[in-house]
Structure formats: structure tokens, C-alpha cells
Amino acid sequence: MTDGALAVVRAGSLTTVQDLGRPGHAHLGVPRSGALDPSAAGLVNRLVGNPESAAVLETTVNGCAVRPRRAVVVAVGGAPCPVTVDGRPVAWGAPVRVAAGALLEAGRAASGVRTYLAFAGGIAVDPVLGSRSTDLLSGLGPPPLSEGAVLPLGASDGPPPPVGDAVPWPGPPSRLVLRIRFGPRADWFTRGALRVLVSGAYRVSAAGNRIGLRTEGPALERARGGELPSEGMVLGAVQVPPDGCPVVFLADHPTTGGYPVVAVVDERDLGAAAQAVPGTPIRFAPVR
């Protein structure tokens, strides 16, 4: 049952509904999806008394504005941004009560890329394969927000409990360090290329999205030509397309691919990757 809804007043450049995703369906060609910065999404949920699995809104760079049709406790976190209710500044990174019919706006990110809005009771769109997440690659889940759309809210269980880890929030990275393990196709590249990969000469490209973080930097030289038959892809895979610039697969990545994967990023580092603005230096750090 739901007891209220949100009307979308300003959708922003890309705002989607996300939860913890739908893992376990890669054999069906369905990506995991879910919040790109799961730690931030989990914390805003805890701030309003939701389980970490509740669906939130994930905005990209320029935020969004919504009007709840019932009074609701809201928390905005992730990429720091101005937050207002009916034009008046309210707290970022803390629970705020928003009256029915008031306009809640999360503004442009002051740093970082993705801001998360949690509402007590969660966003209660119908789940697909056990998740309410929008998947940009497969098209599963609700479409990205558009002006005039209405999203149902779940029932709140009461006032949110105190959250001891509300501050400090981790800041968006000024330098992105991605721990990697080489393989499974590192042998498709020259030894020199592997040294180039870990030299720290790469930066975050503006061309990235929820499917993958694209990089700018020196091309990785192949040790062999040709292409692989399509094979399974995992979250964090560092795939190298024909231009030689690595792409780090994020939550909406394809489940198969034919370009060689030179390494895989530690999943714990992908939240920071989701918040790295274009131009951020990247260091690929090999670990054993």
C-alpha cells in the first residue's frame, strides 16, 4: 500500500529511481543496475528511517525538484548541493520534514556528480525482477524522471531513528584511486601497455554514464589482434575498446562483451568513481 506520491516539477538532466539493484540475473542478460554510489544511497535511507534497500532518487549533476502530496521526512546526500523547501534553504545530509504540497529542490552539485534523495517510506514504484531500479541499458524499471510524472511513496513506519554516522560524509575524490586485479585478458596487451595503465596518466572523461566510466589518456597497445567472442562481463571490468582507452563498467553495464578486459576494479572503489567529475585524475593501483 502507498499513502502519497511525489509530483515531478523539474526532472533534471538524468534522475532515476534506484535501490540496491537486481543482482543474480546476468544469465538472462539483465545487468545489476542499482545506485552507483550505494554508500550514499544507504545513508540517506537510514537518515529517514528506511531500510538500505528502499528506492531513492539518483540525480546527475543538476538535481531535481519534486512536490510531495503528503508531509514526508526527506534526506538529501551524496554529491553536496543546495537544498531548499519552497525556496528556503534547509539542511543537506540530514533529515528534513517537508510539508504536503511544498516544493523540495536539490540544486546543482557543488562537487561530485550524483545526489541522492530519500523519502520516508521509499519510492514505491512496482518492482521488476525484485528491484525498483531504472536500468538504462535494458530498459527495465521505471523510466528516467520527466516533468509532470508522479511517483508513489511507500508508507512510513514513524519518525526516523538517530543516525550516528550521518557526518562526516566522504567528499567527492580530487584524485580517483581504483584498485585493480589484472585479468582475465591482460595477456592481450603488451607489458608496456600494462605499465601505462598503472602510470596514473588517465582522467575521467565527460562521455561516461551509468553504463561505464570512460577515460582519457594514452591508448593501451595490444599484444595480439582480432577480437574475442562475446564473454561474460562483471561489475568493475576494465574493458578496452578499439581506441585503446579503458572503460570501467558500472551498474548498468552489459552482461557480455567482445572487447578484452585488462583488469577488474575492486567493487568498493566504484562509489567514488560514480562521484568523480570529468577531468579527475585516475590512478589504477594493482593489488594482489
pLDDT tens by residue, 204-232 = 999 999 999 999 999 999 998 888 889 99
Q: Exposed (0-12), middle (13-18) or buried (19+): which is 283, by Cβ within 10 Å?
A: middle
What pLDDT digit, counting tens, does each position of 33-43 carry?
999 999 999 99
CA nearest neighbour of 245 among 287, 196, 278: 196
Read off the C-alpha cell for 202. 588517465
CB count in 10 Å sphere of residue 61: 16
Which of residues 172 and 252 earns the better pLDDT score?
Answer: 252
pLDDT at 169: 72
pLDDT at 51: 94
Read off the C-alpha cell for 53. 534497500
Is a pLDDT exceeding 60 seen at residue 164? no
Is a pLDDT exceeding 80 seen at residue 160? no
Given a contact cutoff of 8 angstroms between Cβ atoms, the answer to whether 263 and 181 are in contact is yes
pLDDT band at 130 (very low <50, low <70, confident <90, very high): very high
Backbone dihedral angles phi then psi of residue 42, each to the nearest 5 degrees: -65, -40
Given a contact cutoff of 8 angstroms between Cβ atoms, the answer to whether 80 and 109 are in contact is yes
The 3-class secondary structure across the chain, one letter per residue, is CEEEEEEEEECCCCCEEECCCCCCCHHHCCCCCCCCCHHHHHHHHHHCCCCCCCCEEEEECCCEEEEECCCEEEEEEECCCCEEECCEECCCCCCEEECCCCCEEECCCCCCCEEEEEECCCECCCCECCECCCCCCCCCCCCCCCCCCEEEEECCCCCCCCCCCCCCCCCCCCCEEEEEEECCCHHHECHHHHHHHCCCCEEECCCCCCCEEEEECCCCCECCCCCCCCEECCCCEEECCCCCCCEEECCCCCCEECCCEEEEECHHHHHHHHHCCCCCEEEEEECC
pLDDT at 286: 96
Longest CA span, the chain: 62
pLDDT at 170: 74
pLDDT band at 86 (very low <50, low <70, confident <90, very high): very high
pTM of the model: 0.93
What pLDDT digit, counting tens, does each position of 256-286 carry?
999 999 999 999 999 999 999 999 999 999 9
pLDDT at 97: 95
State the chain's mean pLDDT as an integer: 93
Is a pLDDT exceeding 50 seen at residue 24? yes
pLDDT band at 162 (very low <50, low <70, confident <90, very high): low
**Structural domains of the chain, ranges and CATH numbers in brackets:** 2-154 (no CATH), 176-286 (2.40.100.10)
Q: Which residue has the cell 543496475?
A: 33
> Residues near 203 by Cβ (< 8 Å), separated by ≥ 6?
215, 216, 217, 278, 279, 280, 281, 282
